[in-house]
Structure 1
Amino acid sequence: MFESHFGFSAPPFQLNPDPTFYFGSKGHSNALAYLQYGVHQAEGFIVVTGDIGAGKTTLVRTLLEGLDSTQVKAAQIASTQLDATGLLQAMLTAFGVPHQPGALSKASLISTLEAFFMTLAIKNKRALLVVDEAQNLSMDAIEELRMLSNFQLRKQALLQSFLVGQPELRGMLESQRLEQLRQRVIASCHLGPLDADETRRYIEHRLNRVGWKGNPSFELGAFQKIHQFSSGIPRRINLLCNRLLLSAFLEDLTGITEAHVLRIDRELRAEVGESTVVQAPFRRDAAAARQPVQREHAPDTAAVGLPMAPPARIASVASGRAPLHRIVRRDAAAYRRTVLCLVDSPASYLNAALFAAAVEGTKTASRVVVVSTVDARQLGPVENYAEIAGLPAVEIHFGIAEGSIAHRAAEASVCCEAMLDEFLPDLVVPVGGSDEVVSCALVASRSGVPLLRVGAGARPSRMFPAQRLNASLLDRMAAVLYAPDALAALALGQDGIAAEQVHVLGSLTQDGAAAANTASPLASALISHHGLSHGYVLVTARVGQGRLEVRLLSKLVLMLSRVRGDRPMLWLVCGETQSALRAQGLGSVLSRSGIALASMPVFSARLSILQRASCLLTDAADDLIEVGTALGTPMLLIDEEENAPVSTDRHAKWITLSAADLGIETSTTNPPPPAAATSTAAEAMALHLDGWLSQVEAGLQQSPEPAAVGRPRLKEASP
């Protein structure tokens, strides 16, 4: 009615969810990042909760519109007063599978669904089910969904499910009966209300989408009243603003004032019989949330994270796995503060060791506990690191075994929960970027422990979309972010992270690389032995341990001999690769091609060797990729199947085993690696962190409220 009067192209405040009007508030942007992370894992469950009108459906539809329909077949169920059999029938209808409702037995329904999912998988597609108002599902129906998630083809899950509902859905999922389903929750988020500034920007965003030219205008006080009366709930904002525009049209007004909002809100409340303003959901103070409470208290529903766990889960899951591997090198119990560092690779472990040594050396030293999600053997012997950095006082290794993403995420979450309850940390620092580290960070954030992000804003190559998504997600969760350079800080600003949270303090990886140059004479000796100095192509591809297959080794050697040209080439080989080369008689081919072959040295020496290289050529599982990204080293990753997508990253690309040239710019004039700096990034971080924690303790600076707060903890704090 009023659209043409104000020159709008469409109704700006319609109540039906519409992804074209999606507004990226901080809460909605974070939730979308969590969901994108969950969808990328291609299995398990994703849980979205929020109060009525918070924007759950709009958020999910925005996510679905961004999916590739050639890879994902999505279906949605909106009517959820269903038992298990009714849910199966509704799924067949939603996916468009021919059947006669009511004519099939439960077993037949399941078989029909499985056959449909298999057909999709053969076409390289997977099924995604969205269940709206999921809090209305029966327990049997939810358990049936869990059983359907067992469908697999070649270890690939055939069905992924979204459960979208009101806050009581979380209470249902906390029941002991749904323990197994909870362990398959890949991501969960809760949508809260908009704040006052977001409410104003939300209104202006929707008006601008329909061509608003400032008529009618809004007083600043009008925005404030709209937020007050709507409590920041998007649907309430839409309802109130729609009535305001209608009233302005009928009364021929060109501006909306505070008094106008007050009058229209009173009329609306009289119509629906509501006499008081609905208050925004209560949020506990973050510092209070970190105080350990008795486990029997109910968990806070305003949570974002994965997965949700009841008290019994800690004992049941922990009892079914090997004990944690704990290393205590010196007594650290006297420290007043505790910082937990999460690592998952040799590079992240070295960065954490450098960070720990600096933090423990400050005036008000903090205890640093390095927590590794992998087995200690995957990081290598301690001599890899001891010559570069002081080893952590305490380190703990989860040793999470191979398995599905959902299983590893659940196991990491359980182990991290135990660490939070044991050490009661003041801060958690995710140094690695794997799915397991993200799971631990989410648990810490949901428990009210603030996160500090080192290497913030630095993104892995576009060749690794999952790692890029994880890095972005970790940055969004952090209360304090240490960026390595101005470019990384700019990337954080573009992600909507406030400038006051970001501090450019340098790179821990560059710290470690510089220290390796002065501390590792082995690297210089090895390079000199082969008549090299710098500017060579470094090859670290290897067979075994889930990397290159032995049968491809001859193709690799042939490819290297073709691309060798005038560029010096050094190949570091492990014992298994060396034996395979010898067994296939490939050593003479390498020798004739002028490719230097050397035994794989310890990690610290590899760091130093990498810095002198003009290019790194390796397989996708190499632990030097993380370092090469931080140092800006051009990288070539071997594509075994020769069908990888073309990379748009000018510093990294896939290379096939039939390649005749490198196809990437490599420098032939690399200067010798620099000496270690007198002032390191680790020292700058430790100094800033010491001041920040002191301000938080003194109350001069608030500990930022994390994305989610308030999970109960296992035990009371020790006196």
Structure 2
Amino acid sequence: MFETHFGFSAPPFQLNPDPTFYFGSKGHSNALAYLQYGVHQAEGFIVVTGDIGAGKTTLVRTLLEGLDSTQVKAAQIASTQLDATGLLQAMLTAFGVPHQPGAQSKASLISTLEAFFMTLAIKNKRALLVVDEAQNLSMDAIEELRMLSNFQLRKQALLQSFLVGQPELRGMLESQRLEQLRQRVIASCHLGPLDLDETRRYIEHRLNRVGWKGNPSFEDAAFPRIHQATGGIPRRINLLCNRLLLSAFLENLNRIDEDHIVRIARELRDEVGETTVAMAPVRPAEPRAQRVAEPRTVVPVPMPGPAEQPERSLALHRIARLDVQGERTVMCLVDSPASYFKAALLASALEQGESACRVVVVGCRTAQQLGPVENYAEAVDLPSLEVHLGVQSGGAARRTADSVLRFETLLDEFDPDAVVPLGLSDDLVSCVMLAIRRGIPSLRVDAGSLPPESFPGPRINADVLDRLSSVLYAPTRVASLALAQSGVPAHRIQVVGSVLLDGVAAAQTAGTLANALMAHHGLGSDFILVTSRVGEGRLAAASLSKLVLMLSRVRGERSMLWLVCGETQSALRAQGLGTVLSRSGIALASLPVFSAKLPILERASHLVTDAQDDLVEVAFALGKKVLLVDEEGQAPMVTDPAMAWLPLNATDLGPAQPPRDARNPDGGAAPAVARHLRGWLADPAGQASLRPEGAPAARLLSERA
């Protein structure tokens, strides 16, 4: 009716959920990023709650549209007044599995579903179930869903479930009966109302989607009045604005003012009652730097029951070297030798000068997993204070839950002004999400440099951190351009160089052991470095002979150095492969210290290793060709010229990687980060201008595990 009159291509404020109108408010953008992280886990439950009309269904449908249908088979159940048997029948119908409603026993329904899920898994697909209005499910039905989550094939979960519902769903999940299900919740979020600023941008966003040219116009005072009348609930805004446009059309108005809104809002209240359009007190939007994150906005961690609570104080391993004082506290999160090395460099830069900051380095795992860090001291000053969470047992969800619970005690103790994530593990990302939920900003180092597609987990986590961080320190202008193209405002991006390259330069200066080793083996600047190793879930010892033969074939005329751990060296000796290596001209050396490996990698042309190796990240930063050993011979095709899979039957190294000048701007990246970070912490106005606003619709990655 009024669409043609105002020149709209479609109704801008329809009540039906439509992903094409998705608006990325701060809450919705964060929730979407968290849910993508949860989907990437490919198992367990994701819980989405929110008041009626908050945009839960639109959010979920937006996420589902970004899924790769060749990998995920999604189904949705909307009618949830169901018992356990009714739920099973509804699932078969939603997934399109042939069955006779009401004619099958519960056991038969379960076996039919399991067979369907197995068929999907054989096709390299998995099932995703979305249960809308999940607060209406019976306890038996929810427990049945938990039982279905036990279906596995080769340790891969066959079913993942979304539970979408109103706030009372959370109360249901907190019951003692559902303790086991709580332990399987991978991500959880609650959608609250829009604030005043977001309400205006939401209205203009929907109007612009249908070709709005300013007719009708809205006076500035109209938006606070709409927010007051709707409480910032998207569906209420749609209802009121739809009626405003209809009224403007019928009354031949081309401007909507405050009096018009008050009159139409009163008419709606008379028609549909106070519960639909509630007059809330007008409250101006708070400055972003002063706004405290609402406690129920996002909870991106599993919800453990009482039996799962760890002994927090006993698990923490503290190492205090110096007592550094500062007005501000910065917490650096690490999960690998490379990230620890970056944290040490950054801490050294932040703890110097008149405006020194206190730096706490938090290891998301155990200190032992970082190796003998005291040996790093030849290249960099070690952090003054580091605390290791010590999580190492249990499944992935349990480890993440324990990490977050222990990290929460550190947030209470140190009350940091900012967190700086320096790794990409799931545990680390979950800890950062908790900090953001508590209003602590995240500052991202090496932003915009996504890992290759062959590393889907770290790639998605990198994207999540880029989207949620207040300041993004990009290593190159190319990385900053990638961030800008993904929707990050330019004023939040600082091009400072790569902190990892700072570490390589520091290691070169102090690398006497590495230099002596290379001189001993006569290595120049064009040799192949191998760091493949057996044990710890990496290369199987049975594959060593094939690997040795392959390395001897692909080496050609180039020198090759294999840095081995003790376990790998013992396995080579036990299989009598030392003679083969010697005849093939492949040198062996034992060099476990991470910092000593950096000068060797810097002079190598290729790195042959596996995806879990600590040097992979450094190799990408240096522009080296990375060749990952394909033990099974089933690796996917790779389009990134910086890396390739190397099967055990390979005869050459493939196309060469063009050399790249990997240098930092003068002065180094870590000092540049420290200067900007200290200035940012000292400037509340600057903090407000650099907080993520989440206004543009999030463009989600489609990579899946």
1:458 matched to 2:453? The reply is no
Q: Deviations over 1:500-532 (max 9, x none)?
A: 333333322111111000011112222222222
Amino acid of the structure 1 residue aligned with 2:669? A
122-131 or 430-439: bigger deviation: 122-131
1:148 matched to 2:148? The reply is yes
Shift of 1:160: 0.8
Provide the C-alpha distance between the structure 1 equivalents of 2:179 and 2:578, rounded to a whole number of angstroms: 55
Secondary structure of the corresponding residue to residue 683 of structure 2: helix
Q: Given that residues 317 and 390 in structure 2 are in contact (C-alpha distance below 8 angstroms), is that contact kept between their aligned partners in structure 1?
A: no
1:634 to 625, 644, 651: 625
Provide the C-alpha distance between the structure 1 equivalents of 2:247 and 2:568, rounded to a whole number of angstroms: 77
Provide the C-alpha distance between the structure 1 equivalents of 2:90 and 2:345, rounded to a whole number of angstroms: 55
Shift of 1:661: 2.7
Q: Deviations over 1:264-317 (max 9, x none)?
A: 3443333223475246999999999989xxxxxxx932334223467x47xx42
Q: Name the CA shift for 1:573/1:678 in 2 (closer, same or farther; >3 Å).
A: same
Provide the C-alpha distance between the structure 2 equivalents of 1:496 and 1:229, rounded to a whole number of angstroms: 31
Q: Name the CA shift for 1:653/1:280 in 2 (closer, same or farther; >3 Å).
A: farther
Q: Name the CA shift for 1:269/1:53 in 2 (closer, same or farther; >3 Å).
A: same
Unpaired runs of 5+ in structure 2?
A: 695-705
Shift of 1:163: 1.2
1:681 matched to 2:680? The reply is no
Compute the TM-score of the two structures, normalised by the length of structure 2.
0.88
**What is aligned with 2:279?**
277
Q: Given that residues 383 and 602 in structure 1 are in contact (C-alpha distance below 8 angstroms), is that contact kept between their aligned partners in structure 2?
A: no
Shift of 1:154: 1.9
Secondary structure of the corresponding residue to residue 425 of structure 1: coil
Superposed counterparts of 1:400-479, under 5 Å: 400-401=391-392, 403-479=394-470
Secondary structure of the corresponding residue to residue 473 of structure 2: strand
**What is aligned with 1:302?**
297
1:317 matched to 2:309? The reply is yes
Secondary structure of the corresponding residue to residue 318 of structure 1: coil
1:624 matched to 2:624? The reply is no
Superposed counterparts of 1:42-121, under 5 Å: 42-102=42-102, 106-121=106-121
1:371 matched to 2:362? The reply is yes
**What is aligned with 1:351?**
342
Provide the C-alpha distance between the structure 2 equivalents of 1:69 and 1:431, rounded to a whole number of angstroms: 33
Superposed counterparts of 1:503-514, under 5 Å: 503-514=494-505
Q: Deviations over 1:148-193 (max 9, x none)?
A: 3222222111221111122333343344443332232211223334
Q: Given that residues 189 and 300 in structure 2 are in contact (C-alpha distance below 8 angstroms), is that contact kept between their aligned partners in structure 1?
A: yes
Provide the C-alpha distance between the structure 2 equivalents of 1:113 and 1:285, rounded to a whole number of angstroms: 51
Identity percentage of aligned residues: 68
Provide the C-alpha distance between the structure 2 equivalents of 1:503 and 1:231, rounded to a whole number of angstroms: 37
Shift of 1:10: 3.5
Secondary structure of the corresponding residue to residue 269 of structure 1: helix
Unpaired runs of 5+ in structure 1?
A: 292-298, 709-719
1:239 matched to 2:262? The reply is no
Q: Given that residues 610 and 629 in structure 2 are in contact (C-alpha distance below 8 angstroms), is that contact kept between their aligned partners in structure 1?
A: yes
Q: Name the CA shift for 1:705/1:605 in 2 (closer, same or farther; >3 Å).
A: closer
Shift of 1:381: 0.9
268-277 or 520-529: bigger deviation: 268-277
Provide the C-alpha distance between the structure 1 equivalents of 2:262 and 2:602, rounded to a whole number of angstroms: 66
Provide the C-alpha distance between the structure 2 equivalents of 1:171 and 1:185, rounded to a whole number of angstroms: 14
Provide the C-alpha distance between the structure 1 equivalents of 2:37 and 2:438, rounded to a whole number of angstroms: 20
**What is aligned with 2:181?**
181
**What is aligned with 2:320?**
329
Shift of 1:435: 0.4
Shift of 1:625: 0.7
Q: Given that residues 328 and 357 in structure 2 are in contact (C-alpha distance below 8 angstroms), is that contact kept between their aligned partners in structure 1?
A: yes
Q: Deviations over 1:333-375 (max 9, x none)?
A: 8655433221110000111112222222232433322221222
Provide the C-alpha distance between the structure 2 equivalents of 1:285 and 1:180, rounded to a whole number of angstroms: 41
Q: Given that residues 461 and 629 in structure 1 are in contact (C-alpha distance below 8 angstroms), is that contact kept between their aligned partners in structure 2?
A: no
**What is aligned with 1:713?**
none
Provide the C-alpha distance between the structure 2 equivalents of 1:222 and 1:286, rounded to a whole number of angstroms: 22
Q: Deviations over 1:18-55 (max 9, x none)?
A: 22333334433332221111111100111112232222
Q: Given that residues 482 and 504 in structure 1 are in contact (C-alpha distance below 8 angstroms), is that contact kept between their aligned partners in structure 2?
A: yes
Q: Given that residues 304 and 401 in structure 2 are in contact (C-alpha distance below 8 angstroms), is that contact kept between their aligned partners in structure 1?
A: no
Amino acid of the structure 2 residue aligned with 1:51? D
Amino acid of the structure 1 residue aligned with 2:603? R
Compute the TM-score of the two structures, normalised by the length of structure 1.
0.86
1:389 to 369, 380, 384: 380
Provide the C-alpha distance between the structure 2 equivalents of 1:282 and 1:620, rounded to a whole number of angstroms: 50
**What is aligned with 1:695?**
683
Secondary structure of the corresponding residue to residue 298 of structure 2: coil
Provide the C-alpha distance between the structure 2 equivalents of 1:104 and 1:415, rounded to a whole number of angstroms: 47
Secondary structure of the corresponding residue to residue 87 of structure 1: helix
Shift of 1:473: 1.0
1:658 to 649, 658, 667: 649
Shift of 1:211: 4.9
Secondary structure of the corresponding residue to residue 496 of structure 1: coil
Shift of 1:637: 1.6
Q: Given that residues 450 and 704 in structure 1 are in contact (C-alpha distance below 8 angstroms), is that contact kept between their aligned partners in structure 2?
A: no
Q: Deviations over 1:466-494 (max 9, x none)?
A: 21110111222223333323333333333
**What is aligned with 1:37?**
37
**What is aligned with 1:535?**
526
Q: Name the CA shift for 1:404/1:483 in 2 (closer, same or farther; >3 Å).
A: same
Provide the C-alpha distance between the structure 1 equivalents of 2:490 and 2:111, rounded to a whole number of angstroms: 54
Provide the C-alpha distance between the structure 2 equivalents of 1:85 and 1:419, rounded to a whole number of angstroms: 45
Q: Given that residues 174 and 309 in structure 1 are in contact (C-alpha distance below 8 angstroms), is that contact kept between their aligned partners in structure 2?
A: no
Amino acid of the structure 1 residue aligned with 2:92? L
Superposed counterparts of 1:213-224, under 5 Å: 216=216
46-55 or 511-520: bigger deviation: 46-55
519-528 or 215-224: bigger deviation: 215-224
1:516 to 480, 485, 507: 507
**What is aligned with 2:703?**
none
Provide the C-alpha distance between the structure 1 equivalents of 2:69 and 2:671, rounded to a whole number of angstroms: 49
Residue correspondences, number: 692
Q: Name the CA shift for 1:626/1:335 in 2 (closer, same or farther; >3 Å).
A: same
Q: Name the CA shift for 1:219/1:695 in 2 (closer, same or farther; >3 Å).
A: closer
Q: Given that residues 170 and 301 in structure 1 are in contact (C-alpha distance below 8 angstroms), is that contact kept between their aligned partners in structure 2?
A: no
Q: Name the CA shift for 1:425/1:196 in 2 (closer, same or farther; >3 Å).
A: closer
User: RMSD value over aligned CA atoms?
Assistant: 3.5
Q: Name the CA shift for 1:625/1:693 in 2 (closer, same or farther; >3 Å).
A: same
Shift of 1:423: 3.1
Provide the C-alpha distance between the structure 2 equivalents of 1:413 and 1:632, rounded to a whole number of angstroms: 34
Q: Given that residues 46 and 162 in structure 2 are in contact (C-alpha distance below 8 angstroms), is that contact kept between their aligned partners in structure 1?
A: yes
Amino acid of the structure 2 residue aligned with 1:38? G
Q: Given that residues 362 and 690 in structure 1 are in contact (C-alpha distance below 8 angstroms), is that contact kept between their aligned partners in structure 2?
A: no
Secondary structure of the corresponding residue to residue 37 of structure 1: helix
**What is aligned with 1:295?**
none
Shift of 1:403: 4.7
Provide the C-alpha distance between the structure 1 equivalents of 2:291 and 2:9, rounded to a whole number of angstroms: 46
Provide the C-alpha distance between the structure 2 equivalents of 1:200 and 1:335, rounded to a whole number of angstroms: 41
Shift of 1:629: 2.2
Q: Deviations over 1:355-403 (max 9, x none)?
A: 2222222324333222212222221112441112222233232333365
Secondary structure of the corresponding residue to residue 118 of structure 1: helix
2:481 to 475, 490, 498: 490
